[in-house]
Structure 1
Amino acid sequence: MRKWISSGSRFEEEVGYSRAVVDGDYVWVSGTTGYDYTTMTIADDVVAQAEQCFANIARALAEAGASLDDVVRVLTIVPNPADWPPCWPVFKRHLGRARPTSTLIHAGLATPAMRIEIEVTAKLPKGA
């Protein structure tokens, strides 16, 4: 059975996607940027954006019945290679227990204000 999860972002409705999709034992979370969806604002600092990305991802995972500790794969996109090392402690804090597979890509994002985008896949815990 498939379940769609929305963050309430207008982008999801306008573009036609979900923040996350639960299907079977897995949760696929869309590429998530540092927008605070309650205020539709984004911080200038890449570390603050990474923290907000994880807050947004954690919220979607919780709605699915999972947590950041259940993440098995992470894909990170940063336009500026210099922005990646300052984010390492953020990733370690949020994903250090899960120790998922990880890929980093340096590429442009939808707007210049976006300095990082994070996509994850999680496996639902047994009984969820």
Structure 2
Amino acid sequence: MRRLVSSGSSFEADIGYSRAVIDGDWMFVSGTTGFDYATMMISDDVGEQAEQALRNIGAALAEGGFSFADVVRVRYILPEAGEFETCWPALRRVFGEIRPAATMIAAGLSDPRMKIEIEVTARRGRG
């Protein structure tokens, strides 16, 4: 059974994607940035953007009946690779015990205010 999860962000309708897609025991969360969807504001600080992106991902996972403990894969995309270490405390807090497979990619993002984008894949009942 396939189910779509929306954050309510205008980006989803404007671009034509879902915050996440659930397919059976799998959940695929789209690349998620540090925008606070309630205010559509974004911090200038990459560490705070990472924290907000994780809050956004956590909300999507919860809406789908998943949690961070179900995450098996994570991808980090940053325009400036040198800023990645600033994000480590937030990432370690969420993923330190879970230790999913992970990749960090340095690449441009669609808005120059965005300093990090995080994408996760989760599988229900993996433990």
TM-score, scaled to structure 2: 0.97
* Correspondence 1:65-104 to 2 at 5 A: 65-104=65-104
CA positional deviation for 1:19: 0.2
Which position in structure 2 is the counterpart of 1:117?
117
How many residues are treated as equivalent by the alignment?
Answer: 126
The percentage of counterpart residues that share the same residue type is 56
After superposing on structure 2, the runs of 4+ consecutive aligned residues of structure 1 that deviate more than 4 Å are: none
Post-superposition CA distance 1:43-78 (Å, at most 9, x none) = 000000000000000000001111111100000000
Distance 2:122 2:98 in 1: 10
The 3-state SS of whatever aligns with 2:86 is helix
CA positional deviation for 1:125: 2.5
Distance 2:112 2:15 in 1: 19
Distance 1:12 1:26 in 2: 20
Which amino acid in structure 2 is aligned with residue 34 of structure 1?
A: G
Unpaired runs of at least 5, structure 1: none
Which amino acid in structure 2 is aligned with residue 62 of structure 1?
A: A
CA contact (8 A) 1:66 1:125 kept: no
Which position in structure 1 is the counterpart of 2:31?
31
CA positional deviation for 1:79: 0.5
* Correspondence 1:5-84 to 2 at 5 A: 5-84=5-84
Unpaired runs of at least 5, structure 2: none
Which amino acid in structure 2 is aligned with residue 21 of structure 1?
A: V
The answer to whether 1:105 aligns with 2:86 is: no
Distance 1:113 1:94 in 2: 24
The 3-state SS of whatever aligns with 1:66 is coil
Which amino acid in structure 1 is aligned with residue 60 of structure 2?
A: A
TM-score, scaled to structure 1: 0.96
Which amino acid in structure 2 is aligned with residue 6 of structure 1?
A: S
